Amino acid sequence: MKPESDPMQNAPPIDAEEGRLGTPVDPDGLLNGNELYINRELSQLEFFGRVLEQAADPAVPLLERLRALCTFSSNLDEFYEIRVAGLKEQCLLQSPVVGPDGLTPQAVYARVNQRVRELVDQQYRLFNDMLIPAMAEQQIRFLRRPSWNLAQAEWIREFFFAELMPVLTPIGLDPAHPFPRVLNKSLNFAVELEGKDAFGRNSGYAIVQAPRALPRVIALPPEIAGCEHGFVFLSSILHAHVGELFSGMTVRGCYQFRVTRNSELFVDEEEVKNLREALQGELPHRHYGDAVRLEVADNCTPAMTGFLQQQFGLAASEVFSVNGPVNLVRLMQVPDQVDRPELKYLPFRAGLPKVLHEHSDIFRAIREGDILLHHPFQSFTPVVDFVRQAAQDPDVVAISQTVYRAGHDSVLLSALIEAARNGKEVTVVVELLARFDEEANIGWATQLEEVGAHVIYGVVGFKAHAKMVMVLRREGGKLRRYVHLGTGNYHHQTTRTYTDFGLLTCNESLTQDVAQVFSQLTGRGQTHCMTHIWQSPFTLKTGLLEAIRREAGHARAGRKGWIVVKMNALLEPDLIQALYDASRDGVRIDLIIRGACALRPGVAGLSENITVKSVMGRFLEHSRIFYFHDGGAEKVMLSSGEWMERSLSRRIEICFPILDAGLKERVIAEGLKPYLADRRDTWQMAPDGTYERQGSRDGEGAQNILLSALT
């Protein structure tokens, strides 16, 4: 597979005298101290903005644009639950700590809320002015109360009394009924009342919490809706009939609101004796953490907004008034309810490497040579078959696997349970602190322990984020190791929507390295030098620094120096400084960073040899690829981790080489070349941290090229 333009072969020329690429940019003051770095939170918000731009792209199928709009909301929710919540705590504690960018927590917090307000306003304009009219043209309509005809109003009334009213619990506020504990991200209504109730109590305010079990958009029968797909918001139904909950009283106003809370779990890892028990005790509190954001409908009166703001202890800057439903993320269900394939991405059948077509025995196929899988363009099924066959194979004596995110219905973990029942030695390193997957992971740990598997919770203080499966098989009187190493989680849903690489191998030296990592995770002892794998928190950072400096040495000696890195985030200051130094030495550096990037490209005298681009497409870019030209040897590494301080010092990550020459060329040809050549879905980063879309929306993006080539 060769793209029309091959930037791996046709690099822009380097000026012989200057040793620099392109036209340098030198904004005033960028070379001074902390201004060398872009703030992480603000850079992450720029990524969210690029997600939002997908919803505005007319070349993206209409219902996928709606999904992108909902994804933006979901991303923003988690951002507030974790990142903004942490910032707020620092502000409350008056923390003097500043990041590499030199900004105080207070300065970052103010800028974040300001930028979010701009993005949210853009989101609702897009929803109201572009997506709703475009969907209406396709006979997909959201029916608003003023437009209901008699038949629609009657159907909705019947739905309210049959499905909604029985599960509603209105709470009138008075000294005996204080403001209720509102669940994180739940839909609620603040109701303003007038009159007296049956007990003669003066009314005032009441709170109605929408049942979480009910969908937020209700599909009407086509004959009632008057169109092929008609929906009504649950909030509209309650607005229309809220008076039924307060008999004999007058409703003066009914206003949607939604609060986002701090969802970070606090577990004192130095004091805890049983991590799982501590975590199980902490999980219920996640829904009721401190409030960090309040969203209200724009019809909410200043008095009611002020009342809610006071109840949640929030400042005015933390309140967001929106022109529409306060919980747009719940519209994610609409595309699944609309059977209009032409308004969605075309389905595809994931491909398989040729060797797996020829052999049903996965172990025989691996013995013939390493197997590279490129998801989602190639199927994840071989990885499932690898574990399933191991579970049933009488020659397999042991299976070990790491689990970070696997979901509630993992076929891989079900296979491990079967393996344990079949008498295999099964060891599973379960990361209990995988954020928002803690409950699922606790459930799997319990099930695995019940069938006799060895369940390890990793190393306290270091999240086990590496993606590894190791199978020990007896062959010809000897034991042989087979392993799978990946850049993505063992989660069947994300393998269909995230781009990732996986390697199946029985290479003796590489599998020996993997065995050492498992030994560290499950036992005790000092680290040993590994042949191939770089591992955090021990050798990954130093390995990367040495590779960057070696590339700089080639450039200083007059040889070609070239680094290409594709990953999700670049934030670690020492690695950024090493890239700056390499750029000054004349190394060409191409960075394909999906999300947050603290490095400033294109700065004269610092980084004019560095370009940063972000590729946004149908799939979430998730693979981590590190390419070093290395004097023509072309070192290609795949990794489970980012270039972030947490990944390099507080997590257990692995970075492994592609040793087979043919597979190395595949990683370059599939994982790097199309992205460097992409002129459809690429956003170029400027020195100030902003991004501009490159090329034409009518062009062919990297992901489409790979879909054509691999499926």
Write down the pLDDT at residue 264.
78
Q: Using alpha carbons only, give the angle 465, 471, 477 rounded to the nearest 5 degrees.
A: 155
On the question of pLDDT at 526 being above 90, the answer is no
Q: What is the pLDDT of residue 271?
A: 45
User: In the predicted model, what is the mean pLDDT of residues 609-630?
Assistant: 97
User: Which positions ≥6 away from 306 have C-beta within 8 Å?
Assistant: none
Q: Residue 360 — very low, low, confident or very high, per pLDDT cuts 50/70/90?
A: confident
Structure confidence at residue 277 (pLDDT): 57
The answer on pLDDT for 284 being more than 90 is no
Which pLDDT belongs to residue 492? 85
Q: What are phi and psi of 202, to 5 degrees?
A: -70, 140
The encoded tokens of residue 265 equal 């779990």
**Contact criterion met (CB below 8 Å) for 214 and 123:** no
From 710, 705, 708, 703, select the one nearest 498 (Cα to Cα): 703
Q: Is pLDDT of 10 > 60? A: no
Query: Cα–Cα distance between 626 and 48 in angstroms, integer?
Result: 24
- Please give the class, per CATH, of domain 105-343: alpha beta
Q: Is there a contact between 567 and 642 (Cβ–Cβ < 8 Å)?
A: yes
Q: What is the pLDDT of residue 27?
A: 44
Q: Using alpha carbons only, what angle is made at residue 48 by residues 465 and 604, rounded to the nearest 5 degrees?
A: 90
Provide the pLDDT for residue 2. Answer: 38
The region of weakest confidence among 44-48, 268-272, 574-578 is 268-272
Please determine whether the domains at 354-529 and 535-710 fall in the same fold group of CATH.
yes
Confidence of residue 1 (pLDDT cuts 50, 70, 90): very low
DSSP string covering 326-386: S-GGGGGGHHHH---GGGSPPP---B--HHHHH-S-HHHHHHTS-EEEEETTB-SHHHHHH
Percent of the chain predicted with pLDDT > 70: 89
pLDDT of 4 higher than 50: no
pLDDT of residue 460: 76
Query: How confident is the model over 626-639, as a mean pLDDT?
Result: 97
CB of 627 closer than 8 Å to CB of 635: yes
Residue 176 has pLDDT above 90, yes or no: no
Q: Return the minimum-mean-pLDDT range out of 151-155, 328-332, 437-441, 543-547.
A: 437-441
d(C-alpha 222, C-alpha 90), whole Å: 52
Q: Where are the alpha helices (DSSP H) in 375-422?
A: 381-392, 411-421
The pLDDT value recorded for residue 9 is: 46
Residues of each annotated binding site for ATP: 75, 498, 594, 622
CA neighbor of 681 nearest in space, from 696, 661, 659, 665? 696
Alpha-carbon span 260 to 288, nearest angstrom: 9
- Residues serving a catalytic function are 465
Q: Could you count the other beta carbons within 10 Å of the beta carbon of residue 468? A: 24
**Among the CATH numbers 1.10.3720.10, 3.90.105.10, 1.10.10.10, 3.30.870.10, which is that of 535-710?**
3.30.870.10
| Beta bridge pairs of residue 653 | 536
Binding residues for Mg(2+), as ranges, are: 405, 435
Helix (H) / strand (E) element for 120: namely: helix 105-126
Residues 6+ apart with CB under 8 A from 52: 68, 69, 72, 119, 122, 123, 126
Q: Which of 66-80, 82-96, 534-548, 574-588 has the lowest mean pLDDT?
A: 82-96
Amino acid at 516: Q
Domain boundaries, the chain: 105-343, 354-529, 535-710
Q: What is the mean pLDDT of the chain?
A: 90
* DSSP tag of 146: G
| 3-class secondary structure per residue, 4-39 | CCCCCCCCCCCCCCCCCCCCCECCCCCCCHHHHECC
Provide the annotated binding site: 75, 405, 435, 498, 594, 622
Q: What's the CATH superfamily of 354-529?
A: Endonuclease Chain A (3.30.870.10)
List the end-to-end C-alpha distance of the chain, in Å, as a whole number: 12
Q: Which helix (H) or strand (E) holds 293?
A: strand 291-297
Cβ burial 639-649 (10 Å sphere, 16+ → b, else e): bbbbbbbbbbe
pLDDT band at 409 (very low <50, low <70, confident <90, very high): confident
At residue 3, does pLDDT exceed 50? no
